[in-house]
Chains A and B, each alone.
Chain A
């Protein structure tokens, strides 16, 4: 290894990155993905627009209505219109639910008769519809138990639930750490793929082919700038997560940092392999995005916990490095077990093995000759 040679290449890469403004993408992209996904994805339902048709206009119906008004989950509108008109509102996407309180609501209640409340939900957005239904059910049951004169006769089971790791059930806590895993997989891979393919496309790759510089020196020179630049992103993303999205951080920062650096190496390795097989920059970008973005998202655990996956996706998830990294990341942010947990130690080991294998493969496949 001749460090002078490597250093010259690295300096050249930095000069080019800055002068071609590619550096902007290096820092803009991760932050943008983080902000958009972080603000954009909401699993919880808030501000559900419910139109309440109160045909009873009684004390009890108003008690029920006020329950909706007090809830942070709903934006209720009490209207005096017909069901037909209300349905049209749904079709115009101006409301998501119609709650119909029948005219004899109070009378039935006072007479101990059962009364039925109708609910129409726009299920074009299915997950949201299911969640909304549960919420409405919850509100009505709560209201009912308050006004209900009956007390249970026999024993009653109650649930004492504890939300571990994310007490307030905040979406941010559940999503943002996973985004770090996504961003650090996609962005460094794109950059490292571009750095090599760019030289192929331009013709400057001849400088590598025709000079005595060795393969590992060349790769070291190509990967170091990408590695260093994206290492800064580890801190930037951490800042966004803890400061902007208020995600708690309970584990060891050193573990977060170290595993992220390993993970960047894996990403660089993927980009390097892609640059070996592609010839144009655009092909390299498209291929990198296909290879990293989709699996990075699907197997991140953001959408679906790995343990809840079907058999094939369960296996596939274990083949991609995302799962292992995310496990550690969620641990450092929300749990804080750190290296005392055997799984974390194992997964960290797996990441290291991944990084080594990918980098070795890249070095083997890169040929110092024209194709």
Chain B
């Protein structure tokens, strides 16, 4: 073993609350180690401890040196590279790509030799940023920011690379490119790479995976070993009845007790469900009553005709046509910066249109008055579930109800009903910031549904949310479609989720490149094994 990493009995506590309890593991040169688990399970805390930026107890041995505190880790920092969680977190908005590389090389005191320049250019090339050396970081797309952060972290050839959710919120294309860079580096440099991720397909490619739950590692091993451990609980999908303790998601059902259906090949996602079942966590049964309003929803709810948006010279959306029908879930896919969010904001009336026409329920939207009618009929869940953080969940919801002129009494009844149906009743009087992302997601959805809109827009509602919460999310979407018959437009970076959509629309550089059902797309691309490959076809 050239350079080994050994973590011995490491614990981290914040303000008396324990984030990580007695974690130990080992890693060897050239290995990629994956950390998976729900948010708040302690992955980040452990990574900060190993990178020597946070206090911990226990000891960490790396390259023959032992450290027990950030101060002791100081001498190893030349060999360590850390990329903390958050898109573009370590970047300076006003500095260009080139200036970033220059800066990161300087603070590591790197010699500007020819070898360095070759390596720098190679990294730029791999990240696809060679053409953007003079662009300011603040003007890059999310995917590009993450690639830039990664190559900045790689510039000093760290022997121990720690990446905290580098791919969350990043499109499949950039994700694939990111992984290509990593794979290349670990082969050529023998780097130990620790990565946490929310994408199980990524985790499956790693050498070893550790599953975190409430501050502990509850399972570890190669992806095959882990998958083997849950094979016996995985079945082909059946609707779970209330009596059975089982979960269904992504064409599979999970149950500890035997089911009368054939087994299915599990993925790493199965780990989460089986763990939840073993811990006796019951997935609350999602239920939804029919809309209270009985106004019929016409077939075509919203129609965009040649919608165009420009920011200066840059055309963000170029003559996009789209029809949204009642009772339909439409998935809007595309790389970061392809114009998805801009398009949704135009549909919402948040951005003025630079061309084209928008029709709601057959009526064109032109005046401010039209826009207000539009706003009363749509629901919107923004990226990161922005809600008022100084108000409790109940107060937030009540506020939204009032703003939509729903009577207080009626609103309170509805809020209770939704909280029960979506399973977050226990959290009604908590402040949003103290809740897991999955709960925030569900109550953001409630806030968008209280006034019974005819269309619901969701911008990356599943980014950063753990697997079980995602499973529940899609269950809610299905219910909405069935019971309410409303239109749902959703953006996501999980290609597996595209299969839950009735129709998929693909954007590339502000232009619509595909608009068809998932089946049609599979037919058009017979060689594709999964939807991600179809997606890649369009971006090749």
Contacts and interface: CB of A to CB of B under 8 A. Distances in A.
Q: Within 8 Å by CB, do A and B touch in the complex? A: yes
A9 interface: yes
B77 A211 contact: yes
Given A203-B86, A369-B54, A370-B54, A210 B106 contact: no
A5 B78 CA distance: 13
Interface in B63-118: 70-71, 74-75, 77-78, 80-82, 84, 86, 89-92, 94-95, 99, 102-109
Contacts of A7: 106
B156 to A, nearest CB: 8
A111 interface: no
Interface of chain A, helix or strand or loop or mixed? Answer: helix
A157 interface: no
Most B Cβ at <10 Å: residue of A5, A20, A211: A211
A8 B103 contact: yes
Given A203-B90, A206-B90, A211 B106 contact: no
B377 interface: no
A320 B187 CA distance: 60
B60 interface: no
Contact of A210 (B53, B71, B105, B136): B53
Interface in A1-50: 2, 4-5, 7-9, 11-12, 15-16, 19-20
Interface residues of A, number: 25
B453 interface: no
Nearest to A18: B94
Interface string B39-70: 00000000010011111000000000000001
B53 A209 contact: yes
Given A15-B99, A206-B53, A211 B107 contact: yes
B435 to A, nearest CB: 21
B107 A207 contact: yes
B115 to A, nearest CB: 18
A212 B92 contact: no
A284 to B, nearest CB: 18
A204 interface: yes
A213 interface: yes
Contacts of A9: 103, 106-107
Contacts of A19: 94, 136
B74 A16 contact: no
A209 B51 CA distance: 9
A368 interface: yes
A335 to B, nearest CB: 46
Interface in A181-234: 202-204, 206-207, 209-213
A289 B105 CA distance: 37
A24 to B, nearest CB: 14
Given A203-B86, A211-B77, A2 B94 contact: no
Given A203-B86, A212-B77, A16 B92 contact: yes
Contacts of B102: 8
A206 B82 contact: yes
A209 B48 CA distance: 10
A210 B80 contact: yes
Pick the 3 closest A-B CB pairs, nearest first.
A8-B106, A19-B94, A203-B89
Interface of B: 48, 51-55, 70-71, 74-75, 77-78, 80-82, 84, 86, 89-92, 94-95, 99, 102-109, 136
Given A8-B103, A206-B90, 8 more contacts: A8-B106, A9-B106, A15-B94, A15-B95, A16-B94, A209-B82, A212-B75, A370-B55
Interface of A: 2, 4-5, 7-9, 11-12, 15-16, 19-20, 202-204, 206-207, 209-213, 368-370
